[in-house]
Structure 1
Amino acid sequence: MLYEERVESRPFQAIMLFSILAMLTSLYATYRAGEGFGIALAITAGVSLLLLDVMAIRIEIDERELRIRGVLGLVVRKTVPIENIEGFRVGEGWTSCYGTIHFNLPARSCVTIHQKKGWTVSFTTNNPEEVARALTTLGVPREP
Structure 2
Amino acid sequence: MSLYEETVSSRMFQLLMILPMAAMLWGTYQTYQAGEGFEIMAASTIGALIILLDVMAIRIEIDDRELRIRGVLGLLVRKTISLENIASFRVGKSWTLCYGMIHFNLPAKGCVTIRQKHGWSVSFTTNRPEEVAMVLSTLGIPREP
Q: Give the structure-2-normalised TM-score.
A: 0.98
Q: Tell me the amino acid that sits aligned with residue 143 of structure 1.
A: E
Q: CA deviation at 1:55?
A: 0.1
Matches within 5 A, 1:62-101: 62-101=63-102
Which whole-Å CA distance do the structure 2 matches of 1:111 and 1:98 have between them? 9
Matches within 5 A, 1:1-144: 1-144=2-145
Runs of 4+ in 1 over 2 A off after TM superposition: none
Q: Deviations over 1:57-78 (max 9, x none)?
A: 0000000000000000000000
Q: CA deviation at 1:18?
A: 2.5
DSSP-derived class of the 2:18 partner: helix
Q: Tell me the amino acid that sits aligned with residue 113 of structure 1.
A: I
- For the aligned residue pairs, the C-alpha RMSD in angstroms reads 0.6
Q: CA deviation at 1:16?
A: 1.1
**Structure 1 gap ranges (5+):** none
**Structure 2 gap ranges (5+):** none
> Identity across aligned pairs (percent)?
68
DSSP-derived class of the 1:89 partner: strand
Q: Alignment length, in residue pairs?
A: 144
Which whole-Å CA distance do the structure 1 matches of 2:5 and 2:19 have between them? 28
Q: Tell me the amino acid that sits aligned with residue 74 of structure 2.
A: G
Q: CA deviation at 1:127?
A: 0.2
Q: CA deviation at 1:95?
A: 0.7
Q: CA deviation at 1:33?
A: 1.0
Q: Give the structure-1-normalised TM-score.
A: 0.98
Structure 1 stretch 82-91 or stretch 31-40: which is displaced more? 31-40
Q: CA deviation at 1:5?
A: 0.3
DSSP-derived class of the 2:21 partner: helix
Q: Deviations over 1:79-125 (max 9, x none)?
A: 00000000000012101111110000000001000000001000000
Which whole-Å CA distance do the structure 1 matches of 2:23 and 2:59 have between them? 27
Q: Tell me the amino acid that sits aligned with residue 39 of structure 2.
A: G
Which whole-Å CA distance do the structure 2 matches of 1:100 and 1:43 have between them? 29
